[in-house]
Structure 1
Amino acid sequence: MAEHEKWDVVSGVGRTALWVAVARALETRSESGLIDDPHAEVLARAAQPTGALTSVLDAQPEDETTRQLWQVMALHLGIRTRFFDEYFRTATSSGEVEQAVILAAGLDSRAWRLEWPQDFTLFEIDQPEVLDFKRRALAGEGAHLRCEHVAVRADLRDDWASALLAAGFDPQKPTAWLVEGLLPYLPAEAEEELFQVITRLSAPGSQVALEHSVSANFGQAMDDPRFEHVSQDWGVDMNQLVHQDERTPAITRLRDHGWQVDRDENGTTTAAEYGRQADGHSAMHLEHVRYATVRRN
């Protein structure tokens, strides 16, 4: 196995999972919240990060730029989380899909908060430190799993497919895959390999939900000086973490692998479907984001 940098929820790229939890907690709290994720704040606080990352949970930021950024992120994560919550509900409603895989699961709490079919298995793949922290934190709060939850402690830069199979994943069964908030952190060749492996492991009837963007547009978003401000606030240099190399659009790659696109829409469109208008800073951010679902017949 290749030697790679390791991380937990308060270091490296793992810290992005922490700000996702904070944003989900803020959206859950809001009067017109799109989601109900009571575990997000529990996980954010349990990490006990240094710096300003979770201080927003205790008080409105005094700095206007910081306040605007958290408003944008809360809306973005609210929309994204709800879209994929609904994806799982729809994908599992027929009873044909008996297992799901969340790649780079981070502090996702769907195994604890969504209703799953009886005897359903949810596999989560991420760094050991991240998955172990999440289990401990939620167990300490008395949270109960609502499905069979299998933590696959593997690095997506290594042979995660073998680890998934060894954990009991059945490639002969239709699978609901989730690729949420992952693709910007992968170089183009790693993204292509990811889709190849997903296709190889997917029986007919499988589905994939993903957040994606066109790389050029994402690069324009990262050039926004507000990202430099938030990088300092979060203690994360986003420009060092994300890849802005030119690549074939994710949906095109999946079509080339034989997947049929059911849905592929702009973030501002999704916001409108949920009764939220994205304007100003939110619109500038969400116009670079797309949410999609595909299936393999």
Structure 2
Amino acid sequence: MNGAFAAPVAPAESVSSLIARNISEFRAAVSQSFVPLQVSSDGPDHFRGVIRGASVDEVHVTEVRATSHVVERTPELIARGDRSYFKVSLMLAGTGLLIQDDREAVLHPGDLAVYDTDRPYSLVFDQDFRTMVVMFPKHLISLPSDMIGQLTAVRISGQEGLGGMVVPYLTQLAGNLDQLAGTTGARLAHSALDLVTTVFTRELGLDEVSADPHRALVQRIRSYIDRNLASTDLGPATIAAAHFISTRHLHGLFQEQGVTVSTWIRTRRLEQCRRDLLDPMLADRPVAAIAARWGFVDAAHFSRAFKAAFGVSPSEYRAAH
């Protein structure tokens, strides 16, 4: 028995665990844990797999161990779904091949890769393996989807640069899934997303002086907005002035991304409020105070905007989680 299956399945009430004795059980399990997928194996009679997973605040963290098989996300399966996710895989043992958007990435232990459930992809494992997958809705990450699309099926090494800092954290998270159900679970999950976002930013060259000036300006503006969400003065005029451009130019930059400046600001503020509502350290803080903390001066307007974005009122959202 090699390293992919060396660790036992740790029983934990907060972690769902499933041992698949055949390919049919595994296919059903991965489709339930992630999105609908086609799974096949050259040796279905000898197949085995283990899936352990935990979820918090729409972030799904799953450890998968299995014998050789192929996973496919087909156009037909994509058409059945109504949710858009990114998946980040960290190879822990064995090797895997990820194919998406006419790119291929061979992943070895310590390597990261991202893929998009809205577009077809394949995963090929020709030996026993162990991997960790972080799946999350696209709205949880601050980078535009089209930018992330430049990184699908691109190998990101965990042996150097930022990857060398992020991979140990994700590896520890994979080995301590029960912690996601604790009082700090939401913070752990979002720390993982923040680290992954930082890696993506570096891989896209958005933090480099030599980056394309147009793209670099957009990133600087987005960063400025995030740093100033609490300011009630934040708006097109102040943002444009801070970057020495006209408001017309600013609106044009955001129109290229398919969103208005005001919508982007509101979305980022709502996301920060949503995180605070889930934070046990802020459980005693009134909803109105959380809204004001992130620049919403009108509590009624905030409540309407929150319900429009997430389907329930802020108080209902906090109570449900």
Normalized per residue, the structure richer in strand is: 2
TM over 0.5: no
Structure with greater contact order relative to length (CA < 8 Å, sep ≥ 6): 1
- Please give the TM-score of this superposition, normalised by the length of structure 1: 0.29
